[in-house]
């Protein structure tokens, strides 16, 4: 095989793995979410299909697949059809530059489950999360339904506002790592857990966590789908597989921000315990630490959903613009000054 | 043609065709959607030229920011998204002639000029841009922030109702 | 770092303005009943300090490129800085919110912040030494101007004017940006002196791209100085904007546009070997500029003949004056540059004076229409006499300051040789045409009967004082002429290094 063909093959395999894992993760997540929410509310949740109801996602999939495709008469046909696809596509785009787990040796080369390790990784993620608005806006507009439109507008305004805070929270990490590459940022956190960015950049972590929750429109920031006010928001008119696609996009976004959280703030695949062996019997232990962190924070998102009520819309905007962004901006300034005065500083 | 050439033509065609749709579409909303592809095409061309930072910024600012605002404006403005837009027919002929003339002149200029080129391997640009912003182009960088401040003041001023002033 | 510290010493006017701008924004957002007064005092203080620094630079004859060649400091630039800061200072002090009826009830904080921002961007534009800075400053001037034009909220004329301005501005600066990018492509540098060095040795191959670049750049400058055929925005914008804004726009951005045009033509397209004023022979510059200049002054004057709205009339008059000022550039000589400086200096006082009168009449009578002016002499003698003085000065009647300005530009053109006598003659004919409409204003105010039933205008003391000030500024400079001439002569020094 020529080097180019080999490179293409490797990338293709990576894509298959990542997308497959995400789709699997999506279906498992729906089940986990429903079960854990149920327990938090003293219910049982879906427990009929398979052991512990684990086959529930498959049953859901089959059901959605065979449901009738409904489209409002007054909808804008092509936009209505395109919106879920756009939503999933933009959600998947962001996953391309994220590393899933540590680099490891296999087949005589160093591999990492990361489709593209680009120089401006974080900037790219920032750019494509901005695109996430499109699926929502298109869906909301195309249905020609007032609730949908309101949901779409709410959602885009919300994503727009919190994206700024989200981007701000990364600035100090980029500064400290002197790089936009996610792998570089993860590697600055090697060693003990006190090197983790959650310790060093604690305010940035708070801002990121809140902004990310809002960005993926999870409770308490799920205004776009506030069912007590606007039915189901932008996807009111969607049914069957198109509805499933939109759900999928939302879960993929959630997984993306969680993986980023683990990678950027919690040391990624670094154990946080000095002297911990790199691998056990040839298996890189990094995957274990990484997986545990990701799983934990996915659970935190569900936990939040089971615990918190929803914001009011004006509170949401107030919080985003008047609290989160100023806090993030002040932290950037503070860190920059500290960085120069106390340690490191520009080279 | 090399692979890069093919990619170039794909992006260039996407940019130009969607640009034409922006101009000729009769519904404002279609124009806005077509603009999305124009911006994407341009971002693709930046990538091809090795300007990775610029490409990401293009996506971020234009696709993720300006165009969303545009769509927002179109959707929030009452009745505007059903509005049929058409310039007067009488201006079609002269407009075409002028546009074609300008195109021929500029395309000709681009083709016949002996541009001084610097052969350079594509390299990550982010660090270099950061250095230039805070070095050689420091003043421009700072002036741009004043410009943004003024734009903010202006926007707030225009949006605010008269009685609040 | 050292470069920055060194540069800051030659950057004091701009630093003062930036600091003042930020302070104004902060003070205004703190709120409180006292904020309007505080903002006004702060702005005046800022401009006064900036003026002081600009004069200091001028007196010291400072020269050099600062901020890694982004800006140039030289006596010519300092002269423009003085004019630009002075224009803003006069606007803030003479055209108060009380005197401008259109601005009643509107926020003062933003207004002052915008004026400071406009002044800052004007200074940056007048001193730009790099394409990047040039374009950025041009956009800053434009965007600030758009907002200021739209300042009258809810006023359809104001909004329409702003939108027109924006559309024209976007197209012309877009064209200019294309031209600048071509220039960068041809020369491989963004620095104006660097471009000059490359152009001096000549661009290999076909010259078409260079022609296009220069033409497009001329479009950009033409828009800023409202030269024909890029003047269409001018009357509507001047009419729609609040009068103080109009007065400022008619002087400051125009002067800054001339400042950068001088720098660009003489500093960039010149041949370094044979001297600053010898343009590289890509394009017949003189012919191009002569055509633009003649068209500008003729169209401005002819169109002004039929105007009844005073703001429109003054708008067309300012277009015509841009045509005269262009004569100073056409001359392509030290004499020409000096005449340009003197004309701008004169224009500042006569134009602002005329606009002040228009503002005051509107304050008391609520009209901009010349047909409401009859009988004004009886009702407000001082105001009318002052207006007469400004009109005569705009025509160029000796010994007023406007005459001196015209004398210098016509002199510069005649100096070019007998081939250009016709050009000076066209200028003279134009001055005569201009006489018609300026004198018409006088005739209406002094001779025409009407408005007998209206009471006399009770001008505030401050307004009287300012009218007297402007009248004096039009009358008295002739007494100190040798010193002003010397000042302008000393100011024609361009720094063209990197």
Q: How confident is the model at residue C89 (pLDDT cuts 50, 70, 90)?
A: very high
The answer to whether the beta carbons of residues C47 and C116 sit under 8 Å apart is yes
- Residue C79 sits at the vertex; the CA angle it makes with C75 and C83, to the nearest 5 degrees, is 165
Length of chain C: 498
d(CA C60, CA C73): 11
pLDDT band of residue B82 (cuts 50, 70, 90) is low
Is A180 in Cβ contact with B126 (below 8 Å)? yes
pLDDT at C356 over 90: yes
Q: Residue window 126-145, chain C: list those with CB within 8 Å of chain B.
A: 130, 132-133, 136-137, 139-140, 143-144
Instruction: List, for residues A96-130, the tens digit of each pLDDT value.
Output: 888 887 887 777 777 777 888 888 888 888 888 88
| CA–CA gap between residue B105 and residue A246 (Å, rounded) | 48
Do the domain assignments include residue C496? no
For residue C242, give the nearest of C140, C339, C123, C359 by alpha carbon: C359
- Range among A128-137, A238-247, A249-258 rated most confident: A249-258
State yes or no: pLDDT of B102 exceeds 60: yes
DSSP letter (8 states) at residue C64: E
C145, C253 contact by CB (below 8 A): yes
Q: Chains contacting B with at least 3 CB pairs below 8 Å? A: A, C
CA distance A21 to B104: 52
| Average pLDDT score, chain C | 87
**Is C164 within a domain?**
yes
pLDDT of residue B165: 46
Residues spanned by the domain of C77: 2-491
pLDDT value of position A114: 81
- Are A123 and B64 inside 8 Å of each other by CB? no
Considering only residues B148 and A108, tell me which one the structure prediction assigns the higher pLDDT.
Answer: B148
Query: Residue B152: is it exposed, middle or buried by C-beta count within 10 angstroms (0-12/13-18/19+)?
Result: exposed
Q: Which residue of A has its CA nearest to B30?
A: A79
Chains B and C touch (3+ CB pairs under 8 A): yes
pLDDT at site A344: 67
What is the number of structural domains in chain A? Answer: 1
| ipTM field | 0.87
pLDDT band at C321 (very low <50, low <70, confident <90, very high): very high
**Does the structure show a pLDDT above 60 at C1?**
yes
Q: How many domains does chain C have?
A: 1
Among residues B130, B125, B135, B128, which one has the least CA distance to residue C70?
Answer: B135
Q: Is the peptide bond before A41 cis (omega within 30 degrees of 0)?
A: no
Question: Quick one: pLDDT band at residue C357, thresholds 50, 70, 90?
Answer: very high
Q: Which of B100-114, B150-164, C473-487 has the lowest mean pLDDT?
A: B150-164
Residue A258 has pLDDT above 70, yes or no: yes
Note the pLDDT of residue C54: 92
Q: Which residues contact C465 (CB under 8 A, 6 or more apart)?
A: none
C-alpha to C-alpha distances, B48 to A182, B60, C17, C80, nearest whole angstrom: 22, 18, 42, 44
pLDDT digits (tens, 9 = 90+) for C378-399: 888 899 999 999 999 999 888 8
Measuring CA to CA, which residue among B132, B133, B135, B130 is closest to residue B144? B133
Chain C nearest C-alpha distance from B8 (Å): 20
What mean pLDDT is predicted for residues C187-206? 81
pLDDT tens digits, residue range C246-286?
A: 999 999 999 999 988 888 877 776 655 444 445 555 667 77
Q: Please, what is the average pLDDT of chain A?
A: 83
Cα dihedral C305, C308, C314, C319 sign: negative
C-alpha distances (whole Å) from B74 to each of B79, C146, C297 are 9, 22, 42
- Structure confidence by residue, pLDDT tens digits, C122-178: 999 998 888 999 999 999 999 999 999 988 877 888 888 999 999 999 988 999 999
What sign does the dihedral C347-C350-C355-C358 (CA atoms) show? negative
Q: What is the DSSP letter of C474?
A: H
Question: Would you list the DSSP string of A256-314?
Answer: HHHHHHHHHHS-TT--SSTT--SEETTEETHHHHHHHHHHHHHHHHHHHHHH--PPPHH
Supply the DSSP string of B115-160, one letter for each residue: -----------HHHHHHHHTTTTHHHHHHHHHHHHHHHHHHHHHHS
- The DSSP bridge partners found for residue C279 are C270
Q: What is the mean pLDDT of residues C95-110?
A: 83
| B108 lies within 8 A of chain C by CB | yes
CA dist B122 and B125 (Å) reads 9
- Name the DSSP letter for residue B80: G
pLDDT at residue C122, as a whole number: 93
Give the pLDDT band (50/70/90) at residue B162: low
For C21-39, what is the mean pLDDT? 87
Quote the pLDDT of residue A231: 73
* Interface contact B102, partner C, CB < 8 A: no
Query: Which pLDDT score, from 0 to 100, does residue B163 have?
Result: 56
**Angstrom distance (rounded) from CA B8 to CA B48:** 7
The two beta strands, C71-73 and C64-66, are antiparallel
Cα distance between residue A169 and residue A260, in whole Å: 12
| pLDDT value of residue B87 | 53
C247, part of any domain: yes
pTM for the full predicted model: 0.88
Q: How far, in Å, CA of C310 to CA of C304, rounded?
A: 10
- Which residue range is the domain that position A244 belongs to? 3-343
Residue A127 has its nearest CB partner, among B59, B72, B127, at: B59
pLDDT of the residue at B100: 92
> What is the mean predicted confidence (pLDDT) over A166-184?
87
B99 touches chain C (CB under 8 A): no
Contacts of B162 in chain C (CB under 8 A): 105-106, 153-154
* Residue B89: pLDDT over 70: no
What are the structure tokens assigned to B85, written together? 């837009």
| Within a domain: C498 | no
C-alpha dist (Å) from residue C421 to C228, C413, C415: 22, 7, 9
| Of C31, C122, C121, nearest in space to B148 by CA | C121
Contact B68 A156 (CB under 8 A): yes
CA angle, A206 as apex, A205 and A210 as ends, to 5°? 115
In this predicted structure, what is the pLDDT of residue B81? 55
SS3 A16: helix
């Amino acid at each position: 095989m020529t080097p180019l063909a080999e490179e293409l093959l490797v990338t293709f395999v990576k894509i298959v793995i990542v997308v497959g894992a995400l789709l699997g993760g999506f279906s498992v997540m729906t089940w986990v979410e429903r079960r854990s929410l149920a327990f938090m509310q003293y219910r049982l949740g879906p427990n009929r299909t398979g052991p512990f109801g684990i086959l529930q996602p498959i049953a859901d999939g089959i059901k959605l697949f065979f449901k009738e495709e409904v489209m409002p008469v007054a909808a804008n046909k092509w936009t209505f059809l395109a919106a879920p696809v756009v939503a999933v596509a933009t959600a998947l785009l962001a996953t391309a530059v994220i590393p899933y787990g540590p680099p490891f040796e296999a087949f005589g080369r160093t591999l990492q489950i990361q489709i593209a390790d680009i120089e401006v990784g974080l900037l790219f993620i920032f750019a494509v999360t901005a695109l996430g608005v499109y699926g929502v806006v298109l869906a909301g507009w195309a249905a020609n339904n007032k609730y949908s439109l309101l949901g779409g507008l709410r959602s885009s305004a919300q994503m727009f506002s919190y994206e700024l805070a989200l981007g701000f929270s990364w600035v100090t990490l980029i500064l400290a790592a002197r790089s936009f590459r996610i792998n570089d940022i993860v590697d600055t956190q090697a060693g003990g857990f006190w090197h983790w960015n959650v310790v060093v950049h604690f305010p940035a972590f708070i801002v990121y966590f809140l902004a990310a929750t809002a960005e993926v429109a999870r409770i308490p920031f799920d205004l776009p789908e506030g069912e007590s006010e606007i039915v189901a928001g932008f996807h009111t008119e969607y049914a069957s597989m198109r509805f499933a696609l939109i759900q999928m996009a939302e879960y993929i976004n959630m997984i993306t921000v969680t993986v980023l959280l683990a990678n950027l703030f919690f040391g990624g695949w670094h154990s946080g315990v000095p002297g911990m062996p790199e691998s056990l019997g040839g298996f890189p232990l990094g995957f274990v630490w990484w997986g545990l962190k990701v799983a934990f924070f996915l659970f935190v998102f569900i936990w939040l959903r089971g615990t918190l009520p929803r914001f009011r819309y004006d509170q949401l905007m107030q919080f985003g613009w008047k609290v989160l962004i100023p806090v993030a901006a002040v932290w950037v300034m503070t860190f920059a000054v500290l960085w120069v005065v106390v340690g490191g500083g520009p080279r | 043609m090399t692979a890069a050439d093919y990619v170039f033509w794909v992006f260039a065609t996407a940019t130009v065709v969607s640009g034409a749709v922006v101009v000729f579409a009769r519904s404002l909303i279609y124009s806005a959607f077509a603009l999305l592809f124009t911006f994407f095409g341009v971002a693709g061309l930046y990538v091809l030229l090795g300007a990775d930072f610029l490409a990401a910024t293009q996506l971020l600012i234009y696709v993720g920011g300006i165009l969303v605002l545009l769509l927002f404006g179109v959707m929030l403005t009452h009745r505007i998204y059903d509005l049929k837009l058409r310039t007067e027919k009488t201006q079609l002929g002269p407009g075409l002639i002028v546009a074609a003339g300008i195109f021929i002149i500029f395309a000709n200029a681009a083709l016949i000029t002996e541009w001084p080129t610097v052969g350079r391997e594509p390299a990550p640009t982010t660090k270099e841009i950061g250095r230039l912003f805070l070095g050689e182009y420091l003043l421009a960088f700072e002036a741009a922030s004043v410009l943004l401040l003024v734009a903010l003041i202006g926007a707030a001023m225009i949006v605010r109702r008269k009685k609040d002033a | 770092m050292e470069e920055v510290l060194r540069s800051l010493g030659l950057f004091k006017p701009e630093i003062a303005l930036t600091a003042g701008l930020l302070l104004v924004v902060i003070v205004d957002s703190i709120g409180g009943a006292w904020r309007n007064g505080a903002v006004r005092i702060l702005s005046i203080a800022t401009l006064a300090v900036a003026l002081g620094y600009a004069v200091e630079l001028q007196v010291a004859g400072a020269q050099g490129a600062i901020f890694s060649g982004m800006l140039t400091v030289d006596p010519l630039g300092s002269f423009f800085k003085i004019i630009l800061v002075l224009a803003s200072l006069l606007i803030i002090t003479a055209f108060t919110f009380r005197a401008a009826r259109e601005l009643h009830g509107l926020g003062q904080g933003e207004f002052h912040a915008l004026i400071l921002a406009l002044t800052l961007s004007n200074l940056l534009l007048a001193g730009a030494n790099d394409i990047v800075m040039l374009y950025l400053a041009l956009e800053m001037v434009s965007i600030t101007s758009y907002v200021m034009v739209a300042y009258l909220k809810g006023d359809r004329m104001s909004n329409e004017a702003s939108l027109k301005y924006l559309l024209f501005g976007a197209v012309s600066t877009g064209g200019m940006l294309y031209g600048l990018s071509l220039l960068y492509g041809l020369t491989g540098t963004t620095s104006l002196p660097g471009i000059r060095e490359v152009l001096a040795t000549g661009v290999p191959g076909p010259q078409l791209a260079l022609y296009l670049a220069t033409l497009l750049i001329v479009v950009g400058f033409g828009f800023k100085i409202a030269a024909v055929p890029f003047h269409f925005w001018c009357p509507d914008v001047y009419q729609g904007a609040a009068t103080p804004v109009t007065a400022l726009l008619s002087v400051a951005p125009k002067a800054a546009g001339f400042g950068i045009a001088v720098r660009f033509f003489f500093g960039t397209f010149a041949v370094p070997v044979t001297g600053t004023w010898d343009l590289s022979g890509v394009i017949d510059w003189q012919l191009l500029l002569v055509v633009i200049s003649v068209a500008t002054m003729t169209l401005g004057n002819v169109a002004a003949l039929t105007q009844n709205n005073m703001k429109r009339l003054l708008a067309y008059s300012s277009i015509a004056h841009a045509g005269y000022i262009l004569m100073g550039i056409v001359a392509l000589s030290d004499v020409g540059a000096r005449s340009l400086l003197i004309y701008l200096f004169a224009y500042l006082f006569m134009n602002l004076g005329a606009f002040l009168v228009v503002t005051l009449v509107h304050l008391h009578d609520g009209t901009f229409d010349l047909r409401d002016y009859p009988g004004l002499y009886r009702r407000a003698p001082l105001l009318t006499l002052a207006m007469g003085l400004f009109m005569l000065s705009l025509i160029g009647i000796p010994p007023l300051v406007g005459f001196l300005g015209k004398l210098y530009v016509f002199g510069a053109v005649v100096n070019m040789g007998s081939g250009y006598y016709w050009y000076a003659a066209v200028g003279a004919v134009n001055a005569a045409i201009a006489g018609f409409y300026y004198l018409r204003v006088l005739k209406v105010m002094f001779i025409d009967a009407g408005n007998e039933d209206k009471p006399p205008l009770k001008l505030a003391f401050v307004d009287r004082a300012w009218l007297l000030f402007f009248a004096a500024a039009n009358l008295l400079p002739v007494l100190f002429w040798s010193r002003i001439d010397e000042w302008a002569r000393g100011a024609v020094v361009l720094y063209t290094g990197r």
